[in-house]
């Protein structure tokens, strides 16, 4: 969720939840998007090829900005679709357009408490709600709901009340159908792209995130799995105050990842935090097969301790995904192949998860293998000397690895042989990329190879992998 402490508080938004308001706003979006495309196409008739390519790129950016501005006012599932387009769009949209849509991830104005309070009363009941004192100023706001700080009157216990925006779930199907047409009119996806399939996956993801009963269960699951590890904090849930659209947890004080207090930590403490974040991701994927896939910095806070280890405070488990055994087995092959520089194993795994086509020419396989070896650079045998400390740790803050990977894919000209990855990969890589960014922000120096080797060679992981790969 967006953190109001970053960049100042935003003016509360008057929520458009009525069907008339939303339909009128989306109809306006469709008309404007279509008109803009028509004008752009007409103008291109009088331009040479080089000018057309430059103007097309600029057009994508302007259309993405238009969409981001409009969706940011509507909230709800339409805004969430815009966020997810920034995740999927990296496989087929210009980078500049992706950056615009990514602004929807953390630039979300809150909804006025006066609009939400009647809904909370309806969901919890006045008697139960009166047991709490709720701050009308939200702690955080996002596309599907927002969080308010509260206190239990009986004992002063500090709580967080997460409230889903009213009538949101009822509008998901209609919103996605309408927005699919708007995205087509805006020409934000290439011809031939299976937009309906992408939108269906986004639809399932949104339904998962608005299921607060499931989020409560996932929060408990992570709390139980991490109960014996004092490096992590998972909030306590309060079922007596929670419903399918209101979730109440304990308030956990902590610093934002980009706060000055975190920046001032010495190298050893920042390294320890980086190792915690990386190990948690490896444990989620390799051991549990269950990953919290939303890497937004608002979901990962840092509690600094004078005694004992600094802790990662983990928030918001609505985007938790459980991965199918077949996918996990093939993805293990990709990672193991890259780790051991075994191109054949890496390629077999990529075919197994539908990332590569089996009928691809050899040069495509070779190019993909090179990209795979590059991705695993922080865990490889021989990272670039400039990115390694004297004792062999990878310097995440100095690395431009994401840029080099993107350039390698473009230079290899293998994009057309890729399929749009299945959702498992999209969301897994979303989280993995978030971990890499977190390590860079912490300016961590970590020996990643032995950490990854530990999980690749663990007996329980080996046994589970063999089980998953068996017919």
Judge whether 198 lies within some domain: yes
| Mean pLDDT for the stretch of residues 44-58 | 51
Phi, psi of 2 (to 5 degrees): -65, 145
Domain of 127, CATH number, reads 3.30.200
pLDDT class of 92 with cuts at 50, 70, 90 = low
| Mean pLDDT for the stretch of residues 300-329 | 92
Whether the predicted pLDDT of 462 surpasses 70: no
Q: What is the pLDDT of residues 130-186, one digit of tens each?
A: 999 999 999 988 778 899 999 999 999 999 999 998 877 777 887 787 777 777 766
| Mean pLDDT for the stretch of residues 241-260 | 94
Judge whether 3 lies within some domain: no
Judge whether 152 lies within some domain: yes
Exposed e or buried b per residue across 113-145, where buried means at least 16 C-beta atoms within 10 angstroms of its C-beta: beebeebbeebbeeeebeebebeeebbbbbbbb
Distances (CA, A) of 462 to 258, 457, 471: 37, 6, 16
pLDDT value, residue 35: 47
Q: How many CB atoms are closer than 10 A to CB 310?
A: 19
Burial of 59 from C-beta contacts in 10 A (0-12 / 13-18 / 19+): buried
Q: How many CB atoms are closer than 10 A to CB 282?
A: 21
Domain limits for position 289: 254-471
Exposed e or buried b per residue across 443-452, where buried means at least 16 C-beta atoms within 10 angstroms of its C-beta: bbbbbbbebb
Q: Token match 């087509």: residue?
A: 184
| Mean pLDDT for the stretch of residues 27-56 | 48
**Same domain assignment for residues 196 and 276:** no
Among 92-96, 198-202, 230-234, the range of highest mean pLDDT = 230-234
**Same domain assignment for residues 53 and 116:** no
pLDDT class of 72 with cuts at 50, 70, 90 = low
**Same domain assignment for residues 333 and 416:** yes
pLDDT class of 47 with cuts at 50, 70, 90 = very low
Q: How many CB atoms are closer than 10 A to CB 270?
A: 24
pLDDT value, residue 54: 52
**Quick one: which of 250, 238, 26 has its CA closest to 158?**
250
Judge whether 219 lies within some domain: yes
Choose between 174 and 460: higher pLDDT: 174
**Same domain assignment for residues 133 and 29:** no
Judge whether 11 lies within some domain: no
**Same domain assignment for residues 468 and 436:** yes
Give first-to-last CA distance, the chain, whole Å: 41
Out of 99-113, 215-229, 280-294, least confident range: 99-113
Out of 3-12, 75-84, 442-451, least confident range: 3-12
Burial of 386 from C-beta contacts in 10 A (0-12 / 13-18 / 19+): exposed
Across the chain, mean pLDDT equals 80
List beta partners, residue 445.
395
Q: What is the pLDDT of residues 254-263, one digit of tens each?
A: 999 999 999 9
Q: Which helix H or strand E contains 292, and what residues bound it? A: strand 290-292
pLDDT value, residue 45: 46
Q: Which residues have a Cβ under 8 Å from the Cβ of 395 and sit 6 or more positions away?
A: 387, 388, 389, 443, 445
Q: Which helix H or strand E contains 141, and what residues bound it? A: strand 132-141
Cβ(211)–Cβ(61) under 8 Å?
A: no
pLDDT class of 297 with cuts at 50, 70, 90 = confident
Judge whether 5 lies within some domain: no
**Quick one: which of 153, 118, 156 has its CA closest to 246?**
118
| Mean pLDDT for the stretch of residues 398-408 | 81
pLDDT value, residue 294: 85
Q: Are strands 311-314 and 300-303 parallel, antiparallel or unpaired?
A: antiparallel
**Same domain assignment for residues 219 and 311:** no
Instruction: Sheet with 311-314: list strands edge to edge.
Output: 232-233, 311-314, 300-303
pLDDT value, residue 31: 47
Instruction: Count how many domains the chain has.
Output: 3
**Same domain assignment for residues 87 and 236:** no
- Radius of gyration in angstroms for the set of CA atoms belonging to the chain, rounded to a whole number: 23
pLDDT value, residue 69: 67
Out of 98-107, 286-295, 462-471, least confident range: 462-471
pLDDT value, residue 42: 45
pLDDT class of 295 with cuts at 50, 70, 90 = confident
Q: Token match 């709490």: residue?
A: 132
Rounded Cα distance between 343 and 336, Å, is 10
Judge whether 14 lies within some domain: no
**Same domain assignment for residues 300 and 179:** no
Q: In 158-211, which ranges are continuous DSSP H helix?
A: 168-185, 195-209
**Same domain assignment for residues 236 and 376:** no
**Same domain assignment for residues 400 and 259:** yes
Q: In 45-75, which ranges are continuous DSSP H helix?
A: 49-74
Out of 182-186, 319-323, 381-385, least confident range: 182-186
Residue 306, both tokens: 């004078």
**Same domain assignment for residues 216 and 157:** yes
Judge whether 353 lies within some domain: yes
**Same domain assignment for residues 100 and 248:** no
pLDDT value, residue 405: 77
Whether the predicted pLDDT of 32 surpasses 60: no
**pTM across the whole model:** 0.80
| DSSP-assigned letters across all residues of 16-42 | --SHHHHHHHHHHHHHHHHHHHHHHHH
Rounded Cα distance between 249 and 402, Å, is 35
Q: Are strands 311-314 and 232-233 parallel, antiparallel or unpaired?
A: parallel
pLDDT class of 29 with cuts at 50, 70, 90 = very low
Secondary structure of 345-379 in the HEC alphabet? HHHHHHHHCCCECCCCCHHHHHHHHHHHHHHCHHH
pLDDT class of 312 with cuts at 50, 70, 90 = very high
Q: How many CB atoms are closer than 10 A to CB 247?
A: 27
């Amino acid at each position: 969720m967006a953190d109001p402490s970053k960049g100042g508080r935003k003016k509360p938004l008057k929520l458009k939840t009525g069907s008339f308001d939303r339909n009128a706003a989306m109809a306006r979006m469709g008309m404007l998007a279509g008109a803009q495309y028509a004008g752009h196409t007409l103008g291109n008739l009088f331009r040479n090829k080089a000018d057309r390519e430059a103007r097309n790129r600029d057009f994508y950016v302007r259309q993405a900005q238009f969409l981001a501005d409009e969706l940011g006012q509507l909230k709800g599932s339409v805004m969430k679709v815009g966020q997810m387009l920034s995740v999927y769009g990296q496989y087929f949209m210009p980078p500049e357009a992706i950056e615009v849509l990514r602004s929807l991830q953390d630039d979300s104005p809150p909804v006025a408490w006066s609009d939400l309070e009647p809904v909370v009363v309806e969901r919890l009941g006045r008697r139960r709600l009166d047991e709490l004192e709720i701050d009308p100023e939200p702690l955080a706001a996002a596309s599907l709901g927002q969080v308010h700080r509260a206190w239990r009157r009986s004992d002063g216990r500090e709580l967080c009340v997460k409230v889903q925006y009213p009538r949101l779930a009822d509008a998901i199907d209609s919103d996605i159908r309408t927005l699919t047409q708007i995205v087509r009119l805006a020409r934000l996806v290439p011809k031939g792209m299976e937009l309906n399939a992408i939108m269906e996956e986004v639809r399932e993801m949104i339904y998962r995130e608005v299921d607060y009963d499931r989020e409560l269960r996932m929060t408990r699951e992570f709390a139980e799995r991490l109960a014996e590890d004092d490096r992590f904090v998972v909030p306590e849930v309060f079922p007596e105050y929670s419903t399918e659209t209101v979730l109440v947890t304990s308030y956990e004080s902590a610093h934002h990842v980009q706060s000055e207090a975190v920046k001032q930590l010495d190298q050893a403490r920042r390294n320890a935090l980086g190792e915690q974040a990386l190990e948690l991701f490896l444990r989620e994927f390799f051991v549990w097969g269950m990953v919290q896939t939303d890497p937004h910095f608002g979901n990962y806070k840092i509690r600094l301790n004078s005694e004992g280890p600094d802790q990662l405070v983990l928030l918001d488990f609505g985007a938790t995904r459980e991965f199918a055994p077949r996918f996990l087995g093939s993805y293990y092959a990709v990672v193991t192949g890259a780790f051991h520089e075994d191109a054949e194993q890496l390629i077999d795994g990529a075919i197994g998860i539908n990332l590569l086509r089996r009928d691809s020419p050899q040069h495509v396989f070779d190019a993909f293998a090179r990209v795979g070896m590059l991705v695993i650079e922080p865990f490889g045998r021989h990272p670039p000397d400039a990115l390694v400390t004297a004792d062999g740790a990878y310097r995440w803050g100095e690395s431009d690895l994401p840029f080099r990977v993107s350039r390698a894919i473009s230079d290899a000209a293998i994009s057309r042989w890729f399929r749009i990855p299945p959702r498992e990969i999209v969301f897994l890589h979303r989280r993995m990329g978030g971990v890499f960014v977190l390590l860079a922000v912490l300016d961590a120096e970590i020996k990643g190879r032995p950490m990854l080797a530990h999980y690749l060679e663990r007996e329980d992981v080996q046994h589970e992998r063999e089980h998953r790969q068996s017919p």
